[in-house]
Amino acid sequence: MNIVIVGHVDHGKSTVIGRLLADTHSLPEGKLEQVRAQCELNSKPFEYAFLLDALKDEQAQGITIDAARVFFKSDLRHYLILDAPGHIEFLKNMITGAARAEAALLVIDAAEGVQENSRRHGYMVSLLGIRQLAVVVNKMDLVGWDRGVYERIVSEYGAFLQQVGIRPACFIPVSARDGDNIADRSAHLPWYKGPKVLDALDQFHTEPAPVELPFRMPVQDVYKFTKQGDDRRIVAGTIDSGTVSVGDTMVFYPSGKKSRVKTIEAFNRPAQQSAEAGWSVGFTLQEQIYITRGEMATVESQTRPQVTTRLRVSLFWLGKDPMVKRKEYLLKLGSARVTARIEEVLRVMDASTLDTAEQRNAVQRHDVAECVLRLDRAIACDVAEAIAATSRFVIVDDFEIRGGGIVREAMADRQTTVRDRVMLRNYKWEPSIIQPEHRAEKYNQKAALILVTGEHESDRKGVAKALEGKLFEDGKVVYFLGIGNVLYGVDADIERKQENRLEHMRRLAEVANLMLDAGIILVVAAAELTQDDLEVIKTAVQPDWIETVWAGDNVTTDISFDLQLPGGAVPEAVDQLKAHLQDKGVIFRPW
């Protein structure tokens, strides 16, 4: 069982662990001598805490800088203890340790009492989803084994834990240095009848994998090792919750595509008919559908996940720079990776006092906040109360994980109605027997939607048509589609008014989707497309199949594009665009 040990700096976490190791005879023989020898060498008295301080840095500073792992064994079972640092600067290390744990020991110094990080760590333990906690009231020798001191901590800290939704298993008075109430009962604390630390550990339960919840598996990858002579197309991932069996219909979100499970694949394992939460597995599907990493596999007829671009979340921030509005961050949830921005900071809480400050525009380091996040592409997730694992996300900034949080609510967005239609369309989709990669191989190209937009005065049509001509000459299956060709045909029943713009875009995207499914490179020219338009199109068309191009020097809308073409000569613009498509792997460069 994995246990994390947390608490304020210098309250004695390392000593508690050192004692546990020594008193349960869990130390490798070399270790104790090595540390004793080191102490002698440095003429320092031996301390149990030194057992963990294997690194030189640490011994110099006297604080645990990282969540170190220690293995130990009681009569009942094996433990992996993660020793988390108590210093505020190292909160990210404490979180790293705590996130791997099934239960927590929180150490409070009897003499110093409840400190800032006693509370902050308690709150983080709750946010990270650890439900089992025992409080160790350490250094009872320093307060003369006084029951009153112990009782006051029980009452003060117990009230705090209740606020953050944790019911502690027990409060244990100990002296880790002297070994009182760690593995052996203390002679100094006759009034305490509860469990010793070792008993408390043995009383924690291993929480069963959530097999009863709806099935959720973020798709890690879709493998096909054709070169190795293996024709299986295997959808791989680790099951977060629920169970799935051969023959079940799987629905993938956010796309809404569906297929039946044909086989459960494994290497050097007996054939399985079903798989459940906790296992890293792979499936082959009956009907071939195009899905990629980032989708979430679910089982039809069970509760559907949430699919949206707007999330109300609780998050904690670890970055040195505050998390601010109008800045782009990367959000990772399951295997999905999307750009996210803060739409609104609803509340910021001081994690150590639980005081709430309203009206803030940024989330400072070590704060916990409730925010609305806006994503640039819809993802599938669950709310924390329903399924914890698929509600958890991290925020990446400048290559580093700087924050994490849980989804409280999936909020409606502008694409909700379009998305519902698209999911139904995908769900009802009748797949061809020809697979997309076979078409791609035959046509020697990847299907793509190239959106050429620009100012009304720009020559986007000229560029789009010239590109069509060029690619056609190269032997590509390519088609130019002017916006008017759709407006007066497919859209003939709706007026050309601003309030219908969303529906116009949806229909354009649906037409494009059909042509892309046929394996075509589709070039669409449309004036002044906005980011909103693009969002609608991305909802209906696989986003990684879209290339957005702005023609002209003057950008007049808020759209984010993949390529900007300077105004002026069309042939140069076409060459540039063609090179871009080669870079993106839509078409290939000649060798």
Partner 1 sequence: MSVAMDHLDQLENRSVHILREAYANFKNLGMLWSIGKDSTVLLWLARKAFFGHVPIPLIHIDTSFKIPEMIEYRDRLALEWNLTMIYGQNREALEEKRTFPDGAVDRIACCKALKTDALKHTLSGEWARYRLNHAKKVYELDRNTEAFTGVIVGARADEEGSRSKERYFSPRNAQSRWDVGDQPPEFWNQFKTEFAPGTHLRIHPLLDWTELNIWEYIRRENIPTVSLYYDQGEGKRYRSLGCYPCTQAVDSASRDVDDIILELQSGKFANIAERSGRAQDKADGGGLETLRRDGYM
29 sits near partner 1 (criterion: CB under 8 A): yes
Of the two residues 268 and 498, which places its CB atom closer to partner 1 in the complex? 268
Record the tokens describing residue 423, joined without a space. Answer: 């999911």
Q: C-beta of 75: minimal distance to partner 1 in Å?
A: 15
Q: Considering the complex, what minimum distance in angstroms separates the CB of residue 125 from partner 1?
A: 12
Select from 126, 203, 220, 564 the one that contacts partner 1 (CB under 8 A): 220
Q: Is 438 in the site for partner 1 (CB under 8 A)?
A: no
* Site membership for partner 1, residue 246 (CB under 8 A): no
- Which of these, 454, 485, 492, 474, lies nearest to 570 by C-alpha position? 454
Residue 96 tokens read as 């790293």
| Nearest approach, Cβ of residue 402 and partner 1 (Å) | 8
Instruction: Tell me the window of 111-119, 227-235, 495-503, 513-521 that interacts with partner 1 (CB under 8 A).
Output: 227-235
- DSSP-based three-state secondary structure for 49: helix
Closer of 142 and 266 to partner 1 (Cβ):
266
Q: Characterize 373-392 residue by residue with b for buried, 16 or more Cβ atoms within 10 angstroms of its Cβ, and e for exposed.
A: bbbbbbbbbbbbebbbbbbb
Q: Facing residues of 454 across strands?
A: 527, 551
Q: Is 28 in the site for partner 1 (CB under 8 A)?
A: yes
Nearer to partner 1, 328 or 457 (CB): 328
Q: How far is CA 315 from CA 124, 363, 370, in A?
A: 10, 9, 6
Q: Does 69 bind partner 1 (CB under 8 A)?
A: yes
Q: DSSP letter string over 7-39?
A: ESTTSSHHHHHHHHHHHTT-S-HHHHHHHHHHH
Distance CA 305, CA 302 (A): 9
- Give the shortest CB-435-to-partner 1 separation in angstroms: 19
Q: Which is nearer to partner 1, 175 or 335 (CB)?
A: 335
Binding to partner 1 by CB under 8 A, coded x per residue (else -) over 378-417, reads -----------x--xxx-x--xxx--x-------------
Neighbouring-strand partners of residue 261: 285
8 Å CB contact between 215 and 249: no
**461 HSE (CA, 13 A, CB side):** 9
Binders of partner 1 in range 128-147 (CB under 8 A) = 128
**Which residue's CB is nearer to partner 1, number 108 or number 406?**
406
Token pair for 259: 């297929």
Distance in Å, CB of 542 to partner 1, minimum: 18
Verify binding: residue 30, partner 1, rule CB under 8 A.
yes
Residue 40: Cβ-neighbour burial (10 angstroms; 0-12, 13-18, 19+): exposed
Which residue stretch of 96-104, 481-489, 565-573, 575-583 sits at the interface with partner 1 (rule: CB under 8 A)? 96-104
Task: Note whether 591 binds partner 1 by CB under 8 A.
Answer: no
Q: Tell me how far, at minimum, the Cβ of 507 lies from partner 1, in Å.
A: 35
Q: Is 255 in the site for partner 1 (CB under 8 A)?
A: no
Among 18, 114, 143, 276, binds partner 1 (CB under 8 A): 276
| Contact criterion met (CB below 8 Å) for 3 and 102 | yes
Instruction: Pick from 88, 183, 209, 555 the residue near partner 1 by CB under 8 A.
Output: 209
C-beta closer to partner 1: residue 90 or 145: 90
Interaction of residue 366 with partner 1, rule CB under 8 A: no
- Near partner 1 by CB under 8 A: residue from 24, 46, 74, 80: 80
Residues 6+ apart with CB under 8 A from 377: 309, 338, 339, 538, 543
In degrees, rounded to 5, the angle at the alpha carbon of residue 92 between the alpha carbons of residues 91 and 93 is: 90
Pairing of strands 280-285, 296-299: unpaired
39 makes contact with partner 1 (CB under 8 A): no
Tell me the C-alpha distance between 11 and 157, whole Å: 15
Q: What is the rounded distance in angstroms from the CA atom of residue 31 to the CA atom of residue 149?
A: 36
Residue count, binding to partner 1 (CB under 8 A): 67
Candidates 240, 243, 235; CA nearest to 274 is 243
The H or E element that residue 72 is part of is strand 68-73
> Which one of residues 268, 271, 433, 590 is an interface residue with partner 1 (CB under 8 A)?
268
Interface contacts to partner 1, rule CB under 8 A: 27-31, 38, 54-57, 65-71, 78, 80, 92-93, 95-96, 98-100, 128, 209, 220-221, 223, 225, 228, 230, 232, 234, 236-238, 243, 265-268, 272-276, 278-280, 282, 293, 318, 330, 332, 335, 389, 392-394, 396, 399-401, 404
